[in-house]
Amino acid sequence: MNRRIAFALASSLLFDAGAAAQKPVAELPRTHIDTTWNQPTGGKAWAAHTADEFSRALAQSSPGDVITLDAGTVYTGNFRIPAKTNPNDKWIYVISSAYSKLPAPGKRVSPSDAANMPKVVTPNVATAIGINESANHWRFVGIEVYSASTFAPPKNPPGVYSGYTLINNFTYPPVNLPDSIVFDRCYVHGDATHDVQAGISGNGRNYAVVDSYIADIHMKGVDTQAFNAYYTPGPIKLVNNYFEAAGENVMFGGAGGPADPYVPSDIEVRNNHLFKPLSWVPLSLNGTYVEKNAFELKSARRVLFDSNTIENVWAAGQVGAAFLLTIRTSQSGDIAVVEDVTVTNNIFRNVVMGFSTLATDNLCGPPAYPNCKNSGNSARWTIANNLITLYDSSIPGGIGAHTGLIVFSGGMDRPHGAFTFLHDIVLQHNTVVPHPSKPCWQSIYFGVPGVWKRPFPRSSTDNVWILDNVLCKQPTGDWGVQGKAGLTEYMGAPGTPPFDLAQRFTGNVMYVSPGEQMQSFPPHNLSTGKTFRYVDPSKGNFELLEPRWTETTDERPAGVDSAILPK
């Protein structure tokens, strides 16, 4: 008997479905960062006209001061943001001299605002703005940050230069984290001749990026992010930004190593646009850029992802899921979890798949990460009122078939020799719309351990609730089991009232393509071959007009409520 089969037979079923017998509720962030505009008064006003004067102002300023940089002036260097004695938590603001010409607080900047911004530029691979240990209460407002690196790795095409993170900590890992750092209405970017590995790395406490524009983040053969954070306890606030990156637009966890002492927590991500230009499709398919997904959690707790737009995610470095919940204790530390995640009122436009998941880290332990001792836990996710429109599977970046809403994947807990399963998840009032080119391949897909044979030894999920959704296909999974019988095998735990399958799979409308068999489901679900009609697709309104189904848990029409989606 090989070791993999031995693991399967030793499956100790780490999660007790009986103990989870209630509709799960994801905990929201416990704390929120106040980024209200409140420029200091009464301190010293510093006017820095050169890079040397800027460095001197950073070093000599005191909490309560304001440093003004000249709009249009290039400040070249690797600038250090120092710690200050600050018993009263006063702020230092670094602002543009043309601040009055920038959008007001709460309005996002764009590249067209660059003329009214000073330019902070790194001349090499190092960070442009580096934040020292214990630095606290710094706010950067209306600053453009980019790279003028002249480092050209042999792998790069001629004339393309590389740098690392534009805004980052100066020491890693920091013993004393930076605290209360805000980037407000800033423009942070690479360009066609300057690869950048990351825009902002938010490794600190009380870290916020608001109303900013981070773009052109890419690098040949390297994973990239517009924003990342992995060595932080939180809270983190990302509100009303544009995030553009080839790899992951935004990612939490995934680094820090086995001794990382933090789980990024209390994360607020609202009203952002996560975008990948379609002009990058051929660059990702030929290996120039590593293209993966838009938003990824490898370690996170208490996350609110609300009213965002994710646009353009295709299959290249990964399958093309917009949102990944894939725990990686192997990379993020043994204490990593992906717990209490709320994903509400978002648009995922032109993506191959909505959500890709992983119950526990199947890389933890030998042979890949022998020092990893805990494969982690994923639990309590609420995914509600999201619209997912699928990528054209017939063009480059498609995978030959549409996927859909979500793939449920368990994990091999190698340190304990057991399979683990996703549990305590709610999917409610989501709508999946296939591209007109081809019916979707799946809507909800349940993975089972590869060594399992039917009949399965147990359900492959625990306490999963699928309510009131509009699905482009009937759910299925490994071994192709369908209908009520399939759901019983895939999501049958718990199996007794009042939390049995009839309560946990209800209110859904499922399209049955021509030639497919119409399955039987629990009461109050509709499988139909009738073509779906929506209220006004030309204006992005994909509320289901026909068939109209209100046998739902809340008597509202099945599927998404467009009125509360981003405009």
Query: DSSP secondary structure string, 365-382?
Result: BTTTBTT------EEEEE
Q: What is the pLDDT along the chain (567 residues), one digit of tens a residue?
A: 233 223 222 333 333 444 446 999 999 999 999 999 999 999 999 999 999 999 999 999 999 999 999 999 999 999 999 999 999 999 999 999 999 999 999 999 999 999 999 999 999 999 999 999 999 999 999 999 999 999 999 999 999 999 999 999 988 888 899 999 999 999 999 999 999 999 999 999 999 999 999 999 999 999 999 999 999 999 999 999 999 999 999 999 999 998 899 999 999 999 999 999 999 999 999 999 999 999 999 999 999 999 999 999 999 999 889 999 999 999 999 999 999 999 999 999 999 999 999 999 999 999 999 999 999 999 999 999 999 999 998 899 998 655 799 999 999 999 999 999 999 999 999 999 999 988 898 999 999 999 999 999 999 999 999 999 999 999 999 999 999 999 999 999 999 999 999 999 999 999 999 999 999 999 999 999 999 999 999 999 999 999 999 999 999 999 999 999 999
CA separation, residue 39 to residues 63, 66, 222, 231, 329 (Å): 12, 8, 39, 29, 41
- Which among 281, 207, 271 is positioned nearest to 243, based on CA atoms? 271
Is there a domain that residue 252 lies in? Answer: no
3-class secondary structure, 58: helix
181 falls within a domain: no
**Residue 2 maps to a domain:** yes
Residue 190 lies in a domain: no
* Any domain includes 251: no
Counting beta carbons within 10 angstroms of the beta carbon of residue 12, is it exposed (0 to 12), middle (13 to 18) or buried (19 or more)?
A: exposed
Q: How many domains does the chain have?
A: 1
Single pTM value for the model:
0.95
In this prediction, residue 400 carries a pLDDT of 64
Residue numbers of the domain that contains 450? 1-31+307-325+336-359+375-567
Does residue 540 fall inside a structural domain?
yes
Q: Among the residues of 49-187, which ranges form H helices?
A: 51-60
Q: Strands 541-546 and 533-536, how do they pair?
A: antiparallel
Q: Could you tell me if residue 185 is inside a domain?
A: no
Q: Does residue 544 sit within a domain?
A: yes
Residue 31's contacts (CB-CB under 8 Å, 6 or more residues apart) are 234, 235, 266
Given this model, what pLDDT does residue 399 score? 84
